[in-house]
Each structure stands twice: as C-alpha cells, then as structure tokens.
Structure 1
C-alpha cells in the first residue's frame, strides 16, 4: 500500500506492507482525508520524526477487523480519528474512534468532523447543557469555531462570534451567530467562552465571564504569552478557566452524534479546498496561509 512518510528530505509518498489491525482495532480503506493545521504545520516545517506517518482525520470503508473486536462489519462506511497513520491508503483505528457514515453522506464531509467537530462538541458539552446560556467563541472563522457556532445554536445558546475578519460577518450569522464582533473590547459577558487564540485574548476573556461562568482554552494561535496581573475578577465571579484538547480522548461517541446532524442538514461543513491525495503536500501548505478558512480534503482513487 502507499502512504506519506517523513524522510530525511521531507514528506514523501512511500510504499510498504498493508497494515493489519490488532485486538480493539479496525483497518479502514481510506477514501478521504481531511487536513488539520496542527499536523500540516509539523509536516511542512519538519516537526515529525523520520519514518512517521502523519494523519488524524479520515473516512472510508472497514476492510478488516482485529481479533475479538466489536465493530461494524467489513464494508461499513466510517469516519475515523487517530493520532497517526491517516495519510495512507489503509489506516488503523481504534473501534471507539469510529462512527458509521450513511450512504447519503459524503465521506469528505464526514472526515472534516473527526477532529474539529469532536473538539467543538466536546468543549461545548464538557460541563453540562448550554440551553439558554450565552456562549462567546473567539477565532470563530476557523474550522472549530464554525462548527461550535452551529452546535451552540442547536444546543439553545445565544452565540457571540469573534473574528478579526469583517468579511466573515455574514457567513457567521448564517451559521447561527446572534452577534459578530471583531474584538473583545465591547463584547458582552458570557456564561461559556470558547477561547481559541490564547495570549492577550485569553487574558481579556477572563473579564467577560458571568457569575459561575467558564472559559475553555483550546488553542494558542496568537503565539504570544498570556500575562495575568491577577485573578481577582475570576475569583469574584466564581468562574473557572480550563484547558481543553481532544488529544487521546476516544471520539466515536461524539462523531456518532455529529453524523446525523450532518445527514439532516442541521450541521454544515466548510470544505474550501478539495484535491486528489497526490496533492497532499500542496494542500497542507495552502491551509497554513493567512486567510484560509474551513477545511482541505484529499480524495483517494476509487478502488472499484
């Protein structure tokens, strides 16, 4: 089989033996790969060790089931997430990191949910229902932010979206944002702040919590330190500041909730770039460019 592997000269398309699943795992013939900024940045700029096969988010068809594994049968269409091995014709995934994809759902759309969708749903539901609450989302134009807006609205929250791009206002309103701001200076207080920027944005967010509110910090794209002069405001409000990352969490149950929303049209993905998988490296470079919105998807050749 073919796969992208890190070599001394960079990321290269290589060939090797087909991977086989162990107990608790399934093998998936990959049909679509969705790229994420984190993995793409490391692949482009040399952040992986030699021999590593990157790839988090994929969708395809189960081709083999590991011994004693309770999984959907061979031939089932699934979306899957893992911390490696996704940039390949066949990848291995834990059976608790997959969800069934109905025939009328595009596998490329499904693949975009594996990390971004699971992160958005996981952070919004981490501490209970959001019905009737105010949710503020920074970096709202990003893939996690766009999905979080939609899911927060579906959960019955009032949604405040913050983006530096004025051009994104209308599209974020269409996704379900009640209000779109370009900074936090005049932002209203919120019960939940999904903070994706880090640095000074995180510091300002602390002062915007309602009594008993919470900040979920899940990104640091600002590239600056967060310098707090004190936590008096946070202490007075009784609020909390927590870090959140999907990391090694099993995401199958989250994906199983997201796929029906995608199927019914209640949840929209945003694929901005779709190319054959032999253009993976070029796509990884493209999504790192300033102003890129949404997701990039690579399609593998049909095996029929």
Structure 2
C-alpha cells in the first residue's frame, strides 16, 4: 500500500514534487492522521534545497486533519478527532504522529487555519517567551507581514507589550495595526527609543541595525534570515551593557501543549490566521514561488486532494 505525498526532488521546481511513499505504520504512542491541509514554510523550501531532507523523503512539518487510527497504548485522541500536528514528513495523505505532537481542533476553528499554526506559531510563541515578553515591554518584530511576524505581533500585543511592527514596503503594512501593532515602520526608520525584545526573521544588515536598538538587558531572538544577506557587526558593537542575541530554532519535541495554547487563542479570537495563499497541493511550486518572491501576506496553505 502507498499514499501520495510531496517528496524532495532536486531537479523539480522548488525541489519538491508529488510522489508516492509507503503507507505509514503507527507506533504504540502514535495516531494515524488523514491530512486535509498542510502549511508550507520558508524552512521547508530551504530543507529541500539544502539537502537537510534527502531526495525521495517526504517534506513538511505542518498538518491538520482527522484521526483515523487511535494510539495503541490508549493515549491521545480518539478516531474522528480533528487535530493539528507538528511532525516531520507532514506533506502526505496519511501520516503517523506522536500523541505529544498534536492538539485537538474545536469545530469553531477551521482546519486550514489550524494547519498554519505549528512552525510559525510555535516559533513566535517560544521566541517571545525566551526573549522575556511581559506587560509594558517594548517589542520589535521584523518581517512582521510574514507568518511568524504576524503571529508574534498578535501574541505580544495580547500579553500587554508595546509592539513595533517592521515591514519591507508600504503595501505590507496592511492589517498590522488591526493585529495589535502600536507602530508600523518601513525597515527600522523612526524608531527613536530602545526596545526590550526583538523577534527578527530578516537577518542581514537589518539585524545589526536592530541590535543597536536593543536596550540594556534586552534580547534579540534570531528566528529566520529571509534577506539572504550577511550581517556585519562593527568593531566594539558587542561591547557595553549586557544584552543578548540568541539563535532560535524550533524544538520539535513535545510541541502539543504549545499547539493547544495557539488553538485556544484562535478559538477565543485573540489570534487570527492570515491565509495569504491557498490552493491544491499539486500547486506547491506556485506556492513556493509566491513565498520566495514575498507575495504571501501571512501563511501559504496547501489543500490535500481528496480531503
């Protein structure tokens, strides 16, 4: 038996193509999930291009769908439960998922919206937590129109922070004030007071500019590098009052509790999901091109055929 999937192929557009893989077999602490929607991230594209996911392997991490086989050890949700999952190899019709890597999705939350939460939502949630988010903190979010950025703006605002959203161009400002930003700037222009927490997904020269805005005791969380450009720190720029730059990467172990928190925020209206691109998963090359060319505001979600 086999299932359809999106597999890595260096010769294909975006280095990924439709294919078939063996039907998954669940371990004792895993459920089988029929995937209805999957979310495409910059990291997935980089994984395919770089070889971190080898040719022929299934790509992806974000999925939402319905449980079709419960865990043999009795843990986790029952058959028929709608869930969202963070699991390597998520871009397949059916996947085996650890019970601590998923969360139940209530009926008032769409599965397409839920599928957009895992990688970007957890990156935003955990990087803000690591940076020391709290009421009254001044939080700068760069790349604020992207998936991680929009979630970070909303989560920081919900926590009572003063949020500054930075975008690359005027059209990408749309919706960020409604999302909770107190200020929206192009680049870093006009920021005239130090900030306590920076969530940076741009990298490059702007990373150094952001570092200079960081208050003593502040934290810069580097969650991405969409600019593709080097960051050069001037001599002695790291000498002075203590502040930190942290290399952030999502820990894929046991994300279920954080997924449940994100789903609760969506259900109660304190977190919205902006789906900037939606389409069938056969159009993954189109979705990848839209992401790479920065035409997607928010998240790109693939609909699995037959779901």
Q: Residue in 1 aligned with 2:143?
A: 139
- The reply on whether 1:18 has 2:20 as its aligned counterpart is no
The structural deviation recorded for 1:282 is 2.7
Counterpart in the other structure of 1:76: 81
- Please name the residue that 1:238 is paired with: 242
* Residue segments in structure 1 that go unaligned for 5+ positions in a row: none
What corresponds to 1:251 in structure 2? Answer: 255
Q: Distance in 2 between matches of 1:16 and 1:255?
A: 27
- Whether the 8 Å contact between 1:206 and 1:215 is mirrored in structure 2 is yes
Cα RMSD for the two superposed structures: 2.1
State which of 166, 175, 184 in structure 2 corresponds to 1:171: 175
Correspondent of 2:293 among 289, 292, 295: 289
Q: Deviations over 1:153-199 (max 9, x none)?
A: 00000001111111233421111111111122432310101111112
The within-5 A match list for 1:38-53 is 38-43=43-48, 48-53=53-58
Pick the aligned partner of 2:221 from 213, 216, 221.
216
> Shift of residue 140 of structure 1?
0.9
How far is the alpha carbon of 1:285 from its aligned partner? 2.7
TM-aligned CA distance change 1:215 to 1:129, over 3 Å: closer
Equivalent residue number for residue 107 of structure 1: 111
The count of aligned residue pairs is 301
Distance 1:293 1:69, change over 3 A: same
Kept after mapping to 1: 8 A contact 2:142/2:165? yes
Equivalent pair of 1:32/1:298 in contact (CA under 8 Å)? yes
TM-score by length of 2: 0.90
Q: Which moved more, 1:239-248 or 1:39-48?
A: 39-48
Q: Which of these residues, 28, 53, 60, is aligned with residue 55 of structure 1? A: 60
User: Given that residues 25 and 69 in structure 1 are in contact (C-alpha distance below 8 angstroms), is that contact kept between their aligned partners in structure 2?
Assistant: no
* 1:256 to 1:226, Cα distance in 2 relative to 1, 3 A: same
Is the contact made by 2:168 and 2:186 (CA closer than 8 Å) also made in structure 1? Answer: yes
Partner of 2:91: 87
CA distance in 2, matches of 1:251, 1:231: 39
1:2 alignment counterpart? 4
What secondary structure sits across from 1:237 in the alignment? coil
Of the candidates 259, 264, 276, which is equivalent to residue 260 of structure 1?
264
Tell me, yes or no, if the aligned pair for 1:270 and 1:294 is still in contact at 8 Å.
yes
CA distance in 1, matches of 2:239, 2:50: 41
DSSP-derived class of the 1:198 partner: coil
